């Protein structure tokens, strides 16, 4: 099973009752001091009844530094929290989870609250990924608009990157393939379009090399020339000016030279008796 498919399978394993518990985390979260806010405005201490680690479907992706196993924590008020160990461990005050039955301290309550927010950011990100391919930067902006804290967004996207549900290289290749076939102007315009979406320049360059093979770049170059000449209402330009323009737009020098040679040859053929 592919990494992304395994992650989707894990997501689908959450039953309706678990989704209800997840909604409860947002409506009635763990507060500072490991307390639950009571209806009258007061608070009462919470104890951990049990906690269960669920196997992560991708063995090699979980490590001591980034343990993405899902953990279900049952609390003394009858509610349950669903978290990932990677979200909890950085803020957990001790070396390990204690024996079930302990009363949550302030630090433990804050750690659980943070991990719960990370998990909800992950679920919101998964809903966006299910609609369309996402890149890290755009996904982070969408989650920020929805009110998720920056550290939680970063943690959730790191998990989606591990399971290959968010992949900047794949996003760039798909974006380029679509826009090349739907009127893209030039390699430079494509590069700038991905830069505006926050992708790293190295990722964009690699995607351009993968997508723009000589044949496809040639079609893009001819389309660019047709549009430029139609807009300027000029049928010809000096060779030097044309070369500068095409190089500025990111077309490869070898392709430019070959196309200009073809045009000169066609012009000579049309002039011959």
- Report which of 85, 86, 84 is spatially closest to residue 123, judged by C-alpha positions: 84
Q: Which of 24-38, 82-96, 163-177, 188-202 has the lowest average pLDDT?
A: 24-38
Q: Is 117 helix (H, G, I), strand (E, B) or coil?
A: helix
Tens-digit pLDDT profile for residues 102-151: 788 888 888 888 998 999 999 999 999 999 999 999 999 999 999 999 99
Q: How many CB atoms lie within 10 A of CB 102?
A: 12
φ, ψ dihedrals at 70, nearest 5°: -85, 135
User: Do residue 134 and residue 21 come from a single domain?
Assistant: yes
Q: Given a cut of 60, is residue 30 above it in pLDDT? A: no
User: Do residue 174 and residue 147 come from a single domain?
Assistant: no
User: Do residue 63 and residue 138 come from a single domain?
Assistant: yes
User: Do residue 158 and residue 175 come from a single domain?
Assistant: no
User: Do residue 112 and residue 231 come from a single domain?
Assistant: no
Distance between start and end Cα atoms, the chain: 66
* Range of the structural domain that residue 110 is part of: 3-162
User: Do residue 137 and residue 32 come from a single domain?
Assistant: yes
Q: How many CB atoms lie within 10 A of CB 224?
A: 19
Would you place residue 99 in the very low, low, confident or very high pLDDT band (cuts 50, 70, 90)?
Answer: low
What integer pLDDT is reported at residue 23 of this predicted model? 42
Total count of domains within the chain = 2
Q: Which one is predicted more confidently, 25 or 108?
A: 108
What integer pLDDT is reported at residue 154 of this predicted model? 95
User: Do residue 51 and residue 140 come from a single domain?
Assistant: yes
- Report which of 65, 70, 81 is spatially closest to residue 30, judged by C-alpha positions: 81
What integer pLDDT is reported at residue 127 of this predicted model? 95
User: Do residue 176 and residue 88 come from a single domain?
Assistant: no
User: Do residue 101 and residue 23 come from a single domain?
Assistant: yes
What integer pLDDT is reported at residue 176 of this predicted model? 94
Give Cα separations from 129 to 3, 152, 157, 204 (angstroms): 15, 17, 11, 20
Out of 69-83, 145-159, 245-259, give the one with best mean pLDDT. Answer: 145-159
* Boundary residue ending a domain (162, 183, 213): 162
Q: Which one is predicted more confidently, 62 or 17?
A: 62
* Boundary residue ending a domain (125, 141, 162): 162
What integer pLDDT is reported at residue 13 of this predicted model? 45
User: Do residue 83 and residue 174 come from a single domain?
Assistant: no
User: Do residue 184 and residue 158 come from a single domain?
Assistant: no
What integer pLDDT is reported at residue 41 of this predicted model? 37
User: Do residue 49 and residue 135 come from a single domain?
Assistant: yes
* Boundary residue ending a domain (143, 162, 181): 162
Q: Which one is predicted more confidently, 182 or 57?
A: 182
Contact 71, 85 (CB under 8 A): yes
| Pairwise CA distance, residues 160 & 156, whole Å | 6
Would you place residue 234 in the very low, low, confident or very high pLDDT band (cuts 50, 70, 90)?
Answer: low
């Amino acid at each position: 099973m592919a990494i992304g498919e395994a992650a989707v399978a894990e997501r689908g394993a959450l039953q309706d009752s678990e989704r209800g518990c997840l909604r409860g985390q947002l409506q009635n979260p763990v507060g500072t001091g490991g307390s639950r806010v009571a209806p009258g405005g007061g608070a009462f201490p919470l104890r951990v009844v049990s906690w269960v680690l669920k196997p992560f479907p991708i063995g090699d992706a979980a490590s001591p530094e980034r343990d993405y196993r899902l953990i279900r924590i049952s609390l003394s008020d009858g509610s349950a929290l669903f978290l990932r160990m990677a979200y909890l461990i950085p803020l957990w005050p001790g070396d390990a989870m204690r024996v079930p039955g302990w009363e949550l301290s302030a630090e433990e309550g804050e750690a659980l609250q943070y991990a719960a927010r990370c998990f909800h950011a992950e679920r919101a990100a998964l809903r966006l990924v299910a609609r369309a391919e996402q890149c890290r930067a755009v996904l982070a902006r969408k989650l920020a608009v929805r009110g998720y804290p920056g550290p939680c967004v970063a943690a959730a996207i790191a998990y989606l990157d591990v399971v290959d549900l968010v992949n900047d290289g794949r996003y760039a290749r798909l974006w380029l393939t679509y826009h090349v076939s739907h009127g893209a102007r030039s390699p430079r315009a494509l590069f700038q379009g991905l830069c505006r979406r926050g992708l790293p320049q190295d990722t964009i360059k690699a995607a351009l090399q993968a997508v723009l093979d000589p044949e496809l770049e040639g079609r893009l170059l001819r389309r660019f020339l047709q549009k430029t000449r139609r807009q300027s209402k000029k049928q010809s330009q000096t060779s030097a000016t044309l070369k500068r323009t095409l190089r500025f737009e990111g077309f490869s020098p070898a392709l430019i030279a070959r196309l200009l040679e073809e045009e000169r040859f066609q012009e000579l053929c049309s002039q011959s008796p």
